[in-house]
Amino acid sequence: MSTIKAVAGYLPGLKVEELLWQTLSFANRGDTLEVAVPALSPAQLVALAERVRLASRATLKSMAVSQIIAVVDRAIERLLDPTDPYRQEAEKLLPIITGYDPEMVRLGLTGYLKTFRAPQLQRFVAEDFANPKMLDEFQPAPKGGMARAFGPELMVHIWAGNVPGLPLWSLISGLLVKAGNVGKVSSAEPLMASLFARLLAEVEPQLADSLAVVWWKGGDEAREQALFGQADLVAAYGGNDSLAQIRRQVPITTRFLPYGHKLSFGMVGRAALDARRAVSTARSAAYDVGRYDQQGCYSPQVFYVERGGKVSPQEFAQYLAHELAAFEHKFPRRVLPLEDAAGVAGWRQTQELKTFSHAGSTLLGEAGAAWSVAYADAAQPLAPCALNRSIQVLAVERLEDVVAQIAGQRAFLQTVGLAAAPKALLQLAEALGQAGATRICAIGAMTAPEAGWHHDGRFNLLDLVRLVEIEQAAETAAEDFAPYKD
Amino acid sequence: MANVKDPESLPQGLASDLVEALLVFMAQADSSEDEFSRLALRLFAHQFQHNLAFQRFCQQRGRTPRTVKGWRDIPAVIINAFKDLTLSCVPPPDCERVFMTSGTTRGSVRGRHYHPSLAVYDASMTRNFSQRFMQGTGKIRMGILFPDEVAMPNSSLAHYLALAVREFGTPGSDYFLGPQGLDSARLGEVLAQVQATGEPFALLGATYSFVHLMDEWQQRGQSFRLPPGSRVLDTGGFKGQSRELPMEEFYAQLSAMLGIDRSQCINMYGMTELSTQFYDAGNATLPSVKSGPHWIRSRVVDPLSGNEVAFGERGILAHCDLGNFNSVTTILTEDVGVAVAGGFLLLGRAEGTQARGCSLAVEDFLRAAKA
């Protein structure tokens, strides 16, 4: 048993001794970690925001997007290097903070960071801007005149959750549109964004003052109002209750981008249910369930399985149970906090009680096991499970029938992992898209969205900018005032 | 004492000798672990035999009257089971009363707790209330901040409070929450009057109603200094019915507004799924220690394994209530607690997985489904 100490936050221009510090404690697998987090006063937040805004105006905004990409790429390269001290700190501390298996964190970090290399970032920009140079200077517009995209002077990020690395997503988006960035880390995972900010400042000292990472206890309205009052844009991640609370603190003239909790699921068609494919599909499905213990918005909570294949839906549930047991062997589930354990126990008992009244329902996995599969012989409306490697497998006659079962969850839908033949893929995608899903991917890839994906169906970068247009008429009129005019 | 029915007249399917034994047991001053276990096992065998859903539940866990050797071995049923199953040995139509949960957590599905006769519930409540709230006072003038039993016939709290008034209230006792809402003006007049005459007064109701009351009086700048012997009973927490405030602040405000010492502000912890309540000895310091009478025993467990956690560690509360003679003796709550000398501390509800990741969790989902 050893106690490790770490410091979160990245606060350019502020001296350590000027700040009040609080300690967040984490304990997992016999290690204890104490993370010191800075509790800035509302006035300090305002001053910090001012500094970041001015610095980004002076430096970031004069850089070309390609230069910014090069800087991020250098930082990501360092994080991908197993010998780099930043990488080593992340690998050592994130498992203690999140409780996830260290090897799962290591593999997850690499897989995730790879999507932020230069070519991927260029693709990311190109997804949203037909002409990425629009972010650097006025460019001719097809309709006539010229247009240029300006990022916010100050973008505030409210991060949530304990899936390692997620804050990087919005922070890098902010950098790519040349915004000054102030991000608030969550108490559940205060470290990764802080590390990244420090690393970025080390890689490119010019950017040192263009971003900051702060902390306060969620729901602190005085601090929220102080910082939001300085922002052009607030992007927030969290449950709908927290988002509603945050929205109330955002001035009406400040843009607010909420990213709520989502509900994702998988669909397995009979084409994937012959003896050979069923095993590999179940293995991929188990991977999607096991990775990050279903904490991600893209993690499946239900698998709908089509009848009529060589392997029945019930058999598929057993395959999945088998694969989850194997996954547990390789990557043990984190030790659940009491609240999560109570949630899983309650969910398990509820599923068990259902088996009394519904013939054809079963619950797989012993009470002490770190995973559970609840199987039901009939389609049911999409509903969350207890996460933490609990999953429902529901039999359907035809995959098309799933659409009716998800209709009620339109506002929450995100990823659908789909195993079906090409024709079915396109037909189902049409119906699923109409029902509210925004991402259709292969089973096994649910937790790893590809570079340049549109998070919750939105434009990651385009949503952040303000377009400034010089109309054709202005160009023409200017000619009238030209010194060379005859 | 409560009106105890003649066991001979109890409905069919109910072991009248069991009820009789239970009433005798409850009348004892105390009981040993062994005595408690013996009666718990009798009740378990009875419930195992007469409730098939419960029987299957137990069998799945390998717990039968043959393998269960003490009260700690009786499988704990989650409170949600009161929604999904009929947990009654006596057929529901033959039951005198059914208490239902308020249905705040899962849409419109309400948990049902069937009572073939209220004799046991009433005996449990009055005996315990007399000791823990009345503390030797025979009768006291009561003000109730909750609807009456006519308005809410399926509320166990409405019945509990009606029983309190009937058994321990003076004729001047009254309800101050009706169809028109909280009658804070009339209550204010009554309190001013008892303050003048020196008559001790007891104010009882849901925690959130006290918040409403304090908000209204604060606005009007009203406060009282109730006579010595006056006391307060709050129960149930805020339940989203009022603004939420830290308990420290709640009791400080309550005490200041009524002029009642915090040691006389007693919190009752009860549930529709139980027939017995827990009390603290006032809330001068928080969190206060909760305890029940000798016919209910609690364990603090790891919810996944069901095993008891080490003394002093946080866990989920499981209660074995012998008063639950017709449903199930042992329930697994959703409350986080920790065992201490003389009882347990209640640390709030296990709120599930929300706010950790970005995956939609059940609680958020249900809230959205309700909205």
Write the pLDDT tens digit of every residue in A137-177.
999 999 999 999 999 999 999 998 767 777 998 999 999 99
Q: Does A188 touch chain B (CB under 8 A)?
A: yes
Same domain, B70 and B193: no
Residue A23's pLDDT is: 96
* In-domain check, residue B357: no
Closest alpha carbon within chain A to B87? A353
pLDDT band at B263 (very low <50, low <70, confident <90, very high): very high
Partners of residue A236 on adjacent β-strands: A158, A258
Same domain, B48 and B167: no
Which of B269, B248, B237 minimizes the C-alpha distance to B345? Answer: B269
Q: In chain A, pLDDT over 90 holds for what percent of residues?
A: 85
Highest mean pLDDT among B134-138, B241-245, B367-371: B134-138
Q: Show Cβ contacts of residue A457 under 8 Å, excluding neighbours closer than 6 positions.
A: A438, A439
Which residues of B touch chain A, with CB atoms under 8 Å apart? 53, 56-57, 60-61, 77-78, 80-81, 84-85, 302-306, 314-316, 332, 334, 336, 350-362, 364-365, 367-369
Q: What are phi and psi of A27, to 5 degrees?
A: -145, 130
Tokens 């008063």, residue located:
B323
Q: How many CA atoms within 13 Å lie on the side-chain side of B301? A: 25
Q: What Cα–Cα distance (Å) separates residue A429 from each residue in A268, A281, A402? A: 14, 19, 12
Same domain, B175 and B236: yes
- Set of chain B residues whose Cβ sits within 8 Å of the Cβ of A26: none
Q: What are phi and psi of B90, to 5 degrees?
A: -90, 135
Closest alpha carbon within chain A to B52? A356
- pTM, whole model, 2 decimals? 0.86
Residue B359 to residue A238, Cβ atoms within 8 A: no
Q: Looking at per-residue confidence, does B8 or A191 come out higher?
A: A191
pLDDT band at B353 (very low <50, low <70, confident <90, very high): very low
- Tell me what the mean pLDDT of segment A50-74 comes to: 97
Residue A241's pLDDT is: 87
pLDDT band at B365 (very low <50, low <70, confident <90, very high): low
Q: Is B86 exposed, middle or buried (0-12, 13-18, 19+ CB in 10 A)?
A: middle
- Tell me what the mean pLDDT of segment A18-39 comes to: 93
Residue B361 to residue A349, Cβ atoms within 8 A: no
Nearest-5° Cα angle at B265, B259 to B267: 155
- Where residue A29 falls (left for φ over 0; alpha for ψ -120 to 50; beta otherwise) is left
Last residue of a domain, one of B78, B105, B132: B105
Write the pLDDT tens digit of every residue in A253-277.
999 999 999 999 999 999 999 989 9
Same domain, B132 and B232: yes
Three-state DSSP class for A133?
helix
- Set of chain A residues whose Cβ sits within 8 Å of the Cβ of B352: 339-340, 342-343, 386
Look up the CATH number of the domain holding residue B257.
3.40.50.980
Q: Show Cβ contacts of residue A359 under 8 Å, excluding neighbours closer than 6 positions.
A: A377
Neighbouring CB atoms inside 10 A of B202's CB total 28
Tokens 């048993």, residue located:
A1
Q: Are strands A362-364 and A372-376 parallel, antiparallel or unpaired?
A: antiparallel
Distance CA A296, CA A166 (A): 9
Angle separating helix axes B362-370 and A240-249, nearest 10 degrees: 70
- Tell me what the mean pLDDT of segment B92-97 comes to: 92
Q: Give me the domain span that covers residue B168.
A: 119-293
Same domain, B97 and B124: no
Which of A43, A254, A222 minimizes the C-alpha distance to A155? Answer: A254
Residue B7's pLDDT is: 44
Residue A261 to residue B364, Cβ atoms within 8 A: yes
Residue B21's pLDDT is: 94
Last residue of a domain, one of B81, B105, B129: B105
- Set of chain B residues whose Cβ sits within 8 Å of the Cβ of A415: none
Q: What is the distance, to the nearest Å, from the Cα of residue B173 to the centroid of all Cα atoms in its chain? A: 22
Interface contacts A/B by beta carbons within 8 Å: 155
Tokens 């690998």, residue located:
A91
Same domain, B289 and B167: yes
From the candidates B359, B363, B367, B370, which should be mutated to test the interface with A, based on the most A CB atoms within 10 A?
A: B359
Say whether pLDDT at B115 is over 80.
Answer: yes
For all residues of chain A together, what is the average pLDDT? 94
**What type of residue sits at position B121?**
Y
Same domain, B11 and B128: no
Closest CB to B356: pick one of A295, A349, A350: A295
Q: Show Cβ contacts of residue A81 under 8 Å, excluding neighbours closer than 6 positions.
A: A87
**Length of chain A counted residue by residue:** 486
Residue B128's pLDDT is: 98
Q: Which of A80-94, B30-44, B149-163, B230-244 has the lowest mean pLDDT?
A: B230-244
pLDDT band at B4 (very low <50, low <70, confident <90, very high): very low
* In-domain check, residue B325: no
Asked if A468 contacts A147 with a C-beta cutoff of 8 angstroms, the reply is: yes
- Set of chain B residues whose Cβ sits within 8 Å of the Cβ of A263: 359-360, 365
Asked if A326 contacts A361 with a C-beta cutoff of 8 angstroms, the reply is: no
Residue B350's pLDDT is: 75
Same domain, B201 and B52: no
Closest alpha carbon within chain B to A370? B304
Say whether pLDDT at A69 is over 80.
Answer: yes
**How many domains, in total, are found in chain B?**
2
Residue B53 to residue A353, Cβ atoms within 8 A: yes
Closest alpha carbon within chain A to B75? A349
Three-state DSSP class for B202?
strand
- Where residue B71 falls (left for φ over 0; alpha for ψ -120 to 50; beta otherwise) is alpha
Write the pLDDT tens digit of every residue in A196-245.
999 999 999 999 999 999 999 988 999 999 999 999 999 999 888 899 99
Nearest-5° Cα angle at A56, A52 to A62: 170
Same domain, B203 and B169: yes
Residue A367's pLDDT is: 79
Same domain, B74 and B159: no
Q: Is A429 exposed, middle or buried (0-12, 13-18, 19+ CB in 10 A)?
A: middle
Three-state DSSP class for B173?
coil
Q: Are strands A413-419 and A263-268 parallel, antiparallel or unpaired?
A: parallel
Asked if A306 contacts A268 with a C-beta cutoff of 8 angstroms, the reply is: yes
Nearest-5° Cα angle at B135, B130 to B139: 65
Alpha helices in A369-421 (DSSP H): 402-406
Q: Show Cβ contacts of residue A188 under 8 Å, excluding neighbours closer than 6 positions.
A: A97, A98, A160, A161, A162, B355, B356
* In-domain check, residue B308: no
* Distance from the B53 Cα atom to the nearest Cα atom in chain A, whole angstroms: 7
- Structural domains in chain A plus CATH codes: 2-261+455-470 (3.40.605.10), 263-441 (3.40.309.10)
Q: What is the gyration radius of the CA atoms in chain A, in angstroms?
A: 24
* In-domain check, residue B252: yes
Q: What is the distance, to the nearest Å, from the Cα of residue A255 to the centroid of all Cα atoms in its chain? A: 20
* ipTM for the complex shown: 0.81
Q: What is the distance, to the nearest Å, from the Cα of residue B356 to the centroid of all Cα atoms in its chain? A: 31
Residue B3's pLDDT is: 44
Residue A161 to residue B358, Cβ atoms within 8 A: yes
pLDDT band at B108 (very low <50, low <70, confident <90, very high): low
- Set of chain A residues whose Cβ sits within 8 Å of the Cβ of B362: 343, 347, 383-386
Q: Does A299 touch chain B (CB under 8 A)?
A: yes
- Set of chain A residues whose Cβ sits within 8 Å of the Cβ of B354: 239, 261
Closest CB to A237: pick one of B358, B361, B367: B358
- Set of chain A residues whose Cβ sits within 8 Å of the Cβ of B84: 350, 353-354, 357
Closest CB to A367: pick one of B305, B358, B359: B305
Same domain, B75 and B168: no
Last residue of a domain, one of B293, B320, B337: B293
H and E: helices and strands count for chain B:
10, 16
- Tell me what the mean pLDDT of segment A1-13 comes to: 91
Closest CB to A346: pick one of B80, B359, B360: B80
**What type of residue sits at position A351?**
Q
Residue B13's pLDDT is: 55
Residue B362 to residue A295, Cβ atoms within 8 A: no
Q: In chain A, pLDDT over 70 holds for what percent of residues?
A: 100
**DSSP code at position A451:** T
Q: Which of A108-122, A443-457, B96-110, B348-362 has the lowest mean pLDDT?
A: B348-362
Closest CB to B80: pick one of A261, A294, A350: A350
Residue A263 to residue B365, Cβ atoms within 8 A: yes
- Set of chain A residues whose Cβ sits within 8 Å of the Cβ of B334: 342, 346
- Reading the block at residue A456, the tokens are 């919750």
Same domain, B42 and B151: no
Residue A439's pLDDT is: 97
- Set of chain A residues whose Cβ sits within 8 Å of the Cβ of B332: 345, 349
pLDDT band at B244 (very low <50, low <70, confident <90, very high): confident
Residues in A 354-383 with any Cβ partner in B closer than 8 A: 354, 356-357, 367-368, 383
Residue A339 to residue B360, Cβ atoms within 8 A: no
Distance CA A281, CA A265 (A): 14
Long-range contacts of B196-200 (CB under 8 A, 24+ apart): B197/B227, B198/B227, B199/B141, B199/B172, B199/B227, B200/B137, B200/B140, B200/B141, B200/B226, B200/B227, B200/B228, B200/B229, B200/B230, B200/B231
* In-domain check, residue B45: yes
